[in-house]
Amino acid sequence: MSFDSVETHAKFVEANQLPYPLVSDPSAKIATAYGVARLGGWLPTKRVTFVIDKAGVVQHVIKSELNIDRHIDEALATLQRLQGARLPVEER
């Protein structure tokens, strides 16, 4: 999720062949609700990853401004736990 427009997200999804949608939040309403907005949306959001299950329940929150590997590793581990099986992990 970012403050980028729906159109920008659509182009990014297409260019990168993502199999999932991206969320556009130009008004910062979602970021504010999740407590990650800075200055009401005037600055980019805090880097936080929320792993949300199919029922809409937040299962894990990862907070790290600089360590993207932490976000990836913890999100994958949470998804693996939720699925009860190992997910294939591509080398980075």
Q: Give pTM, 2 decimals.
A: 0.71
65 DSSP 8-state letter: S
pLDDT at 54 over 80: yes
Burial code (b: 16+ CB inside 10 Å, e: under 16) for 33-62 equals ebebbeeebeeebeebbebeeeeeeeebeb
Domain boundaries, given as residue ranges, for the chain: 1-41, 47-92
The average confidence (pLDDT) of the chain is 86
Distance CA 56, CA 68 (A): 24
